[in-house]
Amino acid sequence: MPGFGWELTHLNDYHVHSHLCRHGEGKISEYVAAAVIQGMTEIGFAEHIPLPQIDDPDGRMHWSDFPLYYKEIEAAQKAFPEITIRIGLEADFFPEYVDYLSRFIADYPFDYIIGSIHFLGDWNFDHPKYVGRYHDYGIDSVYRDYYYLLRQAAGCGLFDIIGHFDLPKKYGYLPTIDLTDEIEMSLLEIHNNGLALDVNTSGLRKPSGEIYPSASILRRAKELDIPIVLGSDAHNPQEVGWHFQEVIALLREIGYTKIHSFEKRQRFCLDL
């Protein structure tokens, strides 16, 4: 398989955005072409869900662009028959939006839904524009409140995958308290609800310089046998499959021998 130093029968990138979220660049077909060049067998788009009453015009797909999402994916499926293309969503979890999310998700035939926490209340804590608030909020409180929300997200029954598990580390602000229990409870909630983890390489492009979740969290996830899905969180076509080779080596060293894919919300396992 070109780009990889060994034979892989399957390789997929399940966390891919596009120009449709308004902070990404490149058409769906350009991302698919990048995956094909790398010899991927499958690519899954997880565009940011349109949300009511959220004032971030460049933060997500607009309602009016939603039909385009389907159209561009269908066109790419015709243009690139050599690769399987999945349609997913990255849905922000807000406790108060559970009804909205469940209606939206039920209305369209998605292959999978990634549940992600990007907001603590009205604060989009992973947006570079608002990093100043980490110190006002208190870094330890950010982590505690984040994992509390993550457990609610894992238990709400709407999602297949939990996105970028330890996202609060993005800008390199590390907690001063021991988070072992928070992390353990959160992994157990994911495990008990039968969800998968997004192994997301975008952290390598960010100040933290680490994948989400960190290697130590992934070791514990493996002990619990939590399924994993690979994702680059690409926001431009050059980021498709970002550092997958080294991350696959790490996953194998940890003991993972399978990755996963989804079709119409059904999970399948693939040899890693």
Contact residues for Fe ion, defined by CB under 5 A: 90, 116, 233
Find the part of the chain contacting Zn ion (CB under 5 A) among 67-75, 148-156, 225-233, 246-254: 225-233
Find the part of the chain contacting Zn ion (CB under 5 A) among 4-12, 35-43, 207-215, 227-235: 227-235
Whether residue 213 is preceded by a cis peptide bond, meaning omega within 30 degrees of 0, is yes
Q: How far is the CB of 126 from Fe ion (least distance, A)?
A: 7
Cα–Cα distance for residue pair 108/50, rounded to 1 Å: 13
Pick from 12, 233, 247, 256: which binds Zn ion (CB under 5 A)?
Answer: 233
Report the residue number, 13 or 90, with the smaller CB distance to Fe ion.
90
Go through 160-178 and write b for each residue having 16 or more CB atoms within 10 A of its CB, e for each that does not: bbbbbbbbbbbeebeeeee
| CB-CB contact of 95 with 152 (8 Å) | yes
- Find, among 56, 215, 61, 66, the residue nearest to 126 by Cα: 56
Q: How far is the CB of 219 from Fe ion (least distance, A)?
A: 23
Find the part of the chain contacting Zn ion (CB under 5 A) among 133-141, 167-175, 180-188, 229-237: 229-237
Q: How far is the CB of 164 from Zn ion (least distance, A)?
A: 6
Q: How far is the CB of 48 from Fe ion (least distance, A)?
A: 7
Binding at 198: pick from Fe ion, Zn ion, none (beta carbon under 5-8 Å per type) = none
| CB-CB contact of 15 with 200 (8 Å) | yes
Residues facing residue 234 across a β-bridge:
16
Catalog residues that contact Zn ion under the rule CB under 5 A: 233
